[in-house]
A and B are shown apart, each in its own frame.
Chain A
Amino acid sequence: QQQVKQSPQSLIVQKGGIPIINCAYENTAFDYFPWYQQFPGKGPALLIAIRPDVSEKKEGRFTISFNKSAKQFSLHIMDSQPGDSATYFCAASMVIHAGKSTFGDGTTLTVKP
């Protein structure tokens, strides 16, 4: 019930490509779905997040697509850049219990110049 399954584990794209990372959750009580970006030696930082009342959210080159019926959400990075190379974690939680976030296992993205 608490799992969040993330795929792929790693991803390599060329500059300008559109990497897509997918996550699936089980607990229908979750109402907050963030993506965190983590660079080596740094803590995770919120990249973009979505609530289940919308199907898509876009911030700059980053887009979350959300499918409530399928209990899936995904991150798309448009026009990817080498500086986007990082580990991306999806997560799911209830807004009132932010610290009890359930994280996916992470995706290591490499964007080649």
Chain B
Amino acid sequence: DTEVTQTPKHLVMGMTNKKSLKCEQHMGHRAMYWYKQKAKKPPELMFVYSYEKLSINESVPSRFSPECPNSSLLNLHLHALQPEDSALYLCASSFQGTSGTGELFFGEGSRLTVL
């Protein structure tokens, strides 16, 4: 079983709703990521947190707002989404820098449907 836990597994929301996706890992990783994955496509990097600080934002619309409250938790706040934002949202973590092996540890994802 994955050591990166994501909740909820499924989420349906309207375009005016505000919701949040949550991610938790207890592997001591200091790098955490949000990816978006459309059907039959590879994961696309959205955000990178390094030592709880946002280090990369891959030009993601402001309706997606990430937050890293501590080294184990990562949130993705959603507001005023569009139907095209429907996708599988994956959280991942890894060791940071030269202490890492390069491996990404993915959660099982949150399947988001925007109506």
The interface of chain A, by Cβ under 8 A from chain B, is 31-32, 34, 36, 41-46, 49, 87, 89, 93-96, 98-101, 103-106, 108
Interface membership of chain B positions 67-102, coded 1 if the CB is closer than 8 angstroms to chain A and 0 otherwise:
000000000000000000000001010110110111
For the complex formed, measure the closest distance between the CB of B39 and the CB atoms of chain A, giving whole angstroms: 10
Cα distance A108–B114 in the bound complex, in angstroms: 26
Q: A49 — which chain B residues lie within 8 A by C-beta?
A: 101-103
Q: A46 — which chain B residues lie within 8 A by C-beta?
A: 103-105
For the complex formed, measure the closest distance between the CB of B22 and the CB atoms of chain A, giving whole angstroms: 15
Known A-B contacts A42-B109, A99-B31, A100-B56; A106 and B40 likewise in contact (beta carbons under 8 Å): yes
Mostly, the A contact residues are mixed
Assess the B109–A96 pair: CB atoms within 8 A: no
Partner of B45, one of A41, A99, A104, A105: A99
Assess the A99–B48 pair: CB atoms within 8 A: yes
Cα distance A20–B95 in the bound complex, in angstroms: 30
Known A-B contacts A96-B97, A99-B31; A105 and B42 likewise in contact (beta carbons under 8 Å): yes
A-B contact pairs, 28 of them (CB 8 A): A31-B102, A32-B102, A34-B102, A34-B103, A36-B106, A41-B108, A43-B2, A43-B90, A44-B104, A45-B2, A46-B103, A46-B104, A46-B105, A49-B101, A89-B42, A89-B43, A93-B102, A95-B100, A96-B97, A96-B98, A96-B100, A98-B101, A98-B102, A99-B56, A99-B92, A103-B42, A103-B43, A106-B41
Q: B33 — which chain A residues lie within 8 A by C-beta?
A: 99
Size of the B side of the interface (Cβ < 8 Å), in residues, is 29
For the complex formed, measure the closest distance between the CB of B20 and the CB atoms of chain A, giving whole angstroms: 19
Assess the B40–A99 pair: CB atoms within 8 A: no
Known A-B contacts A42-B109, A44-B43; A98 and B98 likewise in contact (beta carbons under 8 Å): no
Assess the B31–A43 pair: CB atoms within 8 A: no
Assess the B101–A95 pair: CB atoms within 8 A: yes
For the complex formed, measure the closest distance between the CB of A39 and the CB atoms of chain B, giving whole angstroms: 10
